[in-house]
Amino acid sequence: MAVSPRKRPTKQGVREDRTKTPPQSLARELMERRRESGIPEVGRPELKGGFPEVPDPITGLHDEGLSELYTRMDAFAAFVQEQVAIAEVEALDSHLRLKTLESRLQLEALEATHGSATQRKLEAFLDHDAVELRQEDLRRRAEAKLLKSRLDGLERSIRILSREQTRREKVYERRRNS
C-alpha cells in the first residue's frame, strides 16, 4: 500500500494529515467565548482619508482636526491591539502543534528502535509535516511582530497628539489668565 508523504503508517493504519489546522483555531474559540460573555469585538475603523498619520508640523492642525486625528488613531490602536493578541494566540497554537508533532515523530522513531537520540531529533526536524508546521509557526510569529511594530508606532503617535493637546490647553489657559 502506497502512503503519501503527508500520511504516516501507524500500528492502527494510516494517520491523517498532521499539518492541517484544527477545525477551530484557539484564537477563534477565544473570540467566540468573548462574544458569548458580552464583550464586543473591536471593529476595524474606517480608512476615510487613509491610515491616520501625524502631520509635520503638527502645529498646522487646527484644534478640531487634532481631536479628530487623536480619536481615529486611538480607534486604530485598539483594533491593532486586538489583532496583535489574535496573532500571538495563533502563533502559540501553531508552535504547540509543531512541538506536539516533533515529539510524536521522536516517539515513533524510539518505538521503532532505530538510531541515536540525535538521529531521531534530526529525522523529526526534517520531516515534511514538521517543516510545514515550522514555516507556519514562523509566519505567524512574524505577523505578530509586524503587528506589534505597527501598534508601537500608533501608540507613539497618540502620545505626540496627546502632548500637543496638553500644550495647546496650557497656552489657552495662560491667555485666559493674562
pLDDT of residue 2: 38
Going by the DSSP 8-state scheme, the letter that residue 85 receives in this structure is: H
φ, ψ for residue 58 (rounded to 5)?
-70, -25
Which one-letter amino acid corresponds to residue 36?
E
Dihedral of the alpha carbons of 133, 139, 144, 146, in degrees to the nearest 10: 170
115: left (phi over 0), alpha (psi -120 to 50) or beta: left
pLDDT at residue 24, as a whole number:
58
Query: pLDDT-derived band of residue 79, with 50, 70 and 90 as boundaries?
Result: confident
Residue 40, pLDDT above cutoff 70: yes
pTM, full prediction? 0.65
Domain boundaries, the chain: 63-170
pLDDT at residue number 155: 92
Handedness of CA 123, 129, 132, 136 (dihedral sign): negative
The SS3 of residue 13 is strand
Confirm if 43 and 79 have CB atoms less than 8 A apart.
yes
pLDDT digits (tens, 9 = 90+) for 41-60: 777 777 777 778 888 888 88
